[in-house]
Chain A
Amino acid sequence: MSLLKEMKKGLFTSLWFVFLTFPLMVIKVDPIERVVRWRWENALYVAVGTFLMYLLVTFLMQRKNARAATETEVDADRESFIHRLIASPRQKYLLGGALLAVAIAFPFFSSSYQTNVMTTALMYVVLGLGLNIVVGMAGLLDLGYVAFYAVGAYSYALLNHHFGLGFWAVLPIGGGLAAIFGILLGFPVLRLRGDYLAIVTLGFGEIIRLILENWGEFSKGPSGISNISRPGLFGLELNLDAAIIYIYYLMILFMIVTIFIVNRLQDSRLGRAWIALREDEIACQAMGIDKRKTKLVAFSLGAFWAGIIGVVFAAKTTFINPASFTFLESAIILAIVVLGGMGSIIGVILAALILILLPEYLRALSEYRMLAFGAILVAMMVFRPQGLIANIRRTYIFEKEKSPAEKS
């Protein structure tokens, strides 16, 4: 009975989509030759495609609902599988150790392409963790994060180009400069809230990019800076393949350090102040937290990581130009944080790996690659709006017999 009804609804949906896609999918005009091509076959594909898609989505939704209705208990358990896994320190270290072993062995059983792509993914893990401090923990929506990334990259490129400074010397300088820019941005926007903050940060990101693009004497403009040296290993010049592997290990190291620091931050006084700030600014101030200082520290710390990764980025590609620092880049990093589940470290790592590796592995779809990427982004948000691994809030429940226990 309900199947028939679903079929009817599916039919209606597919008819709607045929109507919707009619001008763009069916008609193709050549305004010069003045000919119209009617591609009726496309209408058929759309009809069949959306009908099947509708049935699939309905089926998935029904199953999800059915499971939610009958097995709430089990479901809740499953949800926190990873959380339970890492709740016990032994399991956590075991899992971490295993992952680390896989990560270290990775370059040996894969091509340099795979290693290169994985390095990019790791860079985004760290970027995601950095932005997570600003957006996930402190709750400040930043759409211009890529500006700090650009500051880091250009500081290495320019210092290397003009003064021949090496990678390791510039690493702290790049991070520091980015942090200073973070504070510069932070000051004027202290008063802004929510989406106003978002647009100002977006504007800031664009301003940085436009200056890099137009101030040719300083940044060489759109033609970019080439021949940036790769990081050296105690003065050793590495060949390309070795350099790829070396940067990969560097990124693993950076990631571990970042995870450690961010993890410690989360539990620190500062981290708790950020979370309080995110939840309720007024209550937070009432508790005696210096709002100004807390926000500025969040901005500058977030920017610091972006600066560091910017330096790595310049060293890895050996060429940079402003085209790499567009708004879309900020949007992707933000998507990593949100998809990971705001504030959750494991979530961010997982989301970065998915979002960065996905377009690479979707290359098999050739021209449909970005179409699929957009659709997957929407689908992931629709099916997991809280993120892949939602951050659990620590709640303490006092029970009479047991000592205070953590519960999700």
Chain B
Amino acid sequence: MDYFIELFCSGLTRGAIYALIALGYTMVYGIIGLINFAHGEIYMIGAFTSFIVATVLSIYGFPLLAIVVLAGLAAVVWSSAYGYTVEKIAYKPLRHAPRLSPLISAIGMSIFLQNYVLLAQTSDFLPFPTLIPEFAFMEPVAHIVGSTDIVILITTTIMMLILTVVIKGTKVGKAMRATSQDRTMAMLVGINVNRIISVTFIIGSALAAVGGLLIASHIGQINFFIGFLAGIKAFTAAVLGGIGSIPGAVLGGLVLGLTESFATGYVSSDYEDVFAFSLLVFILIFKPSGLLGKAETKKV
């Protein structure tokens, strides 16, 4: 039973990580119907920015709390700026293009950003500073669930709640929902669609940046390629939960994380990804639009 709980906890952490990145995918998809392959790279840039800022500040002797806050802030600011700029350069000109063109543009952007960080910084792995201390009160259960796991779980929950409130309760959120339902109609009622799309990218990128910071301090290292695999997994999570749905992204992330954890624990980690993808195929066969996705009924 202990073993089960241990696996369950590691699955939850993994799932929360996927969920944080998946939120950005799902928001962008919901609003412009684009699989934003460069999202993983935005997450990587967030992690890198927080690494640089945190290291510089710690060299200049700032206290830990200030480092965490400033590094987090810098990661959010710059990731959002990158998200915004990427949208303006690579997706906005393609708004009326055939459906697959922005997808290729996104893949190109992903390759570009990876190599940009490789050249501007380094190809090597870098040690990420410990931003989340080991809490003393966690010590009795530390062998099952650590301090970073708790912080990741709590942050993901808070982020999801804030996001839900923003989308359900605010004017911007309303405009976002309107844009995702029908862009032309949204324009007709006076919504500045371009601005709403930019806002979506900014929020999605900010979430990815928070994810980048947390995950990097969880595993303690970064390099320019970390965005790729995390991006693919998060995308899988988003689809699993029903792409376009925010609770769906979180649920999808958790289901994926738990599956991988149990597959590793009870079968073999050789095949953890095989299990993850098989689960995806299996779920989509029975629920073709994901766990929480709306079934599309097409009127003729």
Q: Are A and B direct contacts in the complex by CB distance below 8 Å?
A: yes
Q: Give the chain A neighbours of B126 by CB distance below 8 A.
A: 31
Judge if B43 is at the interface, Cβ distance under 8 Å: no
Judge if B278 is at the interface, Cβ distance under 8 Å: yes
Q: Give the chain B neighbours of A339 by CB distance below 8 A.
A: 104
B73-110 vs A, Cβ < 8 Å mask (1 yes, 0 no)? 01000100110010001100110111011111101111
In the complex, which of the residues B102, B270, B289, B290 has the most CB atoms of chain A within 10 Å of its own CB atom?
B270
What's the Cα separation between A17 and B86 when bound, in Å? 12
- On whether the beta carbons of B111 and A377 are closer than 8 Å, the reply is yes
What's the Cα separation between A134 and B49 when bound, in Å? 41
Q: Give the chain B neighbours of A20 by CB distance below 8 A.
A: 78, 81-82, 85
- On whether the beta carbons of B119 and A371 are closer than 8 Å, the reply is yes
A176-210 vs B, Cβ < 8 Å mask (1 yes, 0 no)? 00000000000011011101101110111011001
Q: Of A72-80, A243-251, A306-314, A327-335, which stretch is located at the interface? A: A327-335
Q: Give the chain B neighbours of A27 by CB distance below 8 A.
A: 52, 56
Q: Give the chain A neighbours of B4 by CB distance below 8 A.
A: none
Q: Of A160-168, A267-275, A378-386, which stretch is located at the interface? A: A378-386
Judge if A99 is at the interface, Cβ distance under 8 Å: no
Interface size on A, residues (CB 8 A): 60
Q: Give the chain B neighbours of A204 by CB distance below 8 A.
A: 277, 281
Q: Give the chain A neighbours of B216 by CB distance below 8 A.
A: none
Q: Give the chain B neighbours of A24 by CB distance below 8 A.
A: 45, 48-49, 52, 116-117, 120-121
- On whether the beta carbons of B280 and A214 are closer than 8 Å, the reply is no
Q: Give the chain A neighbours of B110 by CB distance below 8 A.
A: 374
Given known contacts A377-B111, A378-B109, A196 and B289 CB-to-CB distance under 8 angstroms? yes
- On whether the beta carbons of A342 and B98 are closer than 8 Å, the reply is yes
- On whether the beta carbons of B74 and A23 are closer than 8 Å, the reply is yes
Judge if B115 is at the interface, Cβ distance under 8 Å: yes
List CB contacts (< 8 Å) of B230-281 with chain A.
Answer: 232, 235-236, 239, 243, 270-271, 273-274, 277-278, 280-281
Q: Give the chain B neighbours of A17 by CB distance below 8 A.
A: 85
Q: Give the chain B neighbours of A141 by CB distance below 8 A.
A: 100
What's the Cα separation between A371 and B121 when bound, in Å? 14
- On whether the beta carbons of A210 and B107 are closer than 8 Å, the reply is no
- On whether the beta carbons of A21 and B120 are closer than 8 Å, the reply is yes
Q: List 30 A-B contacts (CB under 8 A).
A: A20-B78, A23-B48, A24-B48, A24-B116, A24-B117, A27-B52, A29-B55, A195-B239, A196-B239, A196-B284, A196-B288, A196-B290, A199-B236, A200-B280, A200-B284, A202-B232, A203-B236, A206-B232, A206-B277, A207-B277, A338-B101, A338-B103, A342-B98, A368-B115, A374-B111, A374-B113, A377-B104, A377-B105, A382-B93, A385-B101
- On whether the beta carbons of B119 and A368 are closer than 8 Å, the reply is yes
- On whether the beta carbons of B98 and A386 are closer than 8 Å, the reply is yes
- On whether the beta carbons of A386 and B277 are closer than 8 Å, the reply is no
Which residue of B is nearest A326, CB measured? Answer: B228
What's the Cα separation between A387 and B112 when bound, in Å? 20
B283-300 vs A, Cβ < 8 Å mask (1 yes, 0 no)? 011001110000010101
Which residue of A is nearest B107, CB measured? Answer: A331
B128-146 vs A, Cβ < 8 Å mask (1 yes, 0 no)? 0100000000000000000
What's the Cα separation between A27 and B271 when bound, in Å? 40
How many chain B residues sit at the interface, stated as a range, is 35 or more
Selected from A192, A207, A214, A335, the residue in CB contact (under 8 A) with B288 is: A192
Judge if A34 is at the interface, Cβ distance under 8 Å: yes
Given known contacts A199-B235, A282-B300, A381 and B105 CB-to-CB distance under 8 angstroms? yes
- On whether the beta carbons of B56 and A376 are closer than 8 Å, the reply is no
- On whether the beta carbons of A382 and B90 are closer than 8 Å, the reply is yes
Which 10 A-B pairs give the minimum distances between C-beta atoms? A377-B108, A374-B112, A385-B97, A374-B111, A203-B277, A381-B105, A371-B115, A378-B108, A199-B239, A214-B270
Given known contacts A195-B239, A371-B119, A188 and B281 CB-to-CB distance under 8 angstroms? yes
Which residue of A is nearest B50, CB measured? Answer: A23
In the complex, which of the residues A21, A135, A199 has the most CB atoms of chain B within 10 Å of its own CB atom?
A199
Known: A24-B48, A189-B284, A374-B114. 8 other contacts (CB 8 A): A24-B117, A193-B288, A195-B243, A214-B270, A282-B300, A338-B100, A371-B119, A387-B101
Judge if A396 is at the interface, Cβ distance under 8 Å: no
Judge if A399 is at the interface, Cβ distance under 8 Å: no
Given known contacts A27-B52, A334-B104, A377-B111, A192 and B284 CB-to-CB distance under 8 angstroms? yes
Selected from A28, A199, A327, A374, the residue in CB contact (under 8 A) with B280 is: A199
Closest approach, in angstroms, between the C-beta of B51 and any C-beta of chain A? 8
Closest approach, in angstroms, between the C-beta of B67 and any C-beta of chain A? 13
Judge if A93 is at the interface, Cβ distance under 8 Å: no
- On whether the beta carbons of A382 and B105 are closer than 8 Å, the reply is yes
Judge if A105 is at the interface, Cβ distance under 8 Å: no
Judge if A361 is at the interface, Cβ distance under 8 Å: no
- On whether the beta carbons of A381 and B56 are closer than 8 Å, the reply is no
Q: Give the chain B neighbours of A36 by CB distance below 8 A.
A: 55-56, 59
What's the Cα separation between A335 and B109 when bound, in Å? 13
What's the Cα separation between A387 and B203 when bound, in Å? 31
- On whether the beta carbons of B107 and A377 are closer than 8 Å, the reply is yes
Judge if A373 is at the interface, Cβ distance under 8 Å: yes
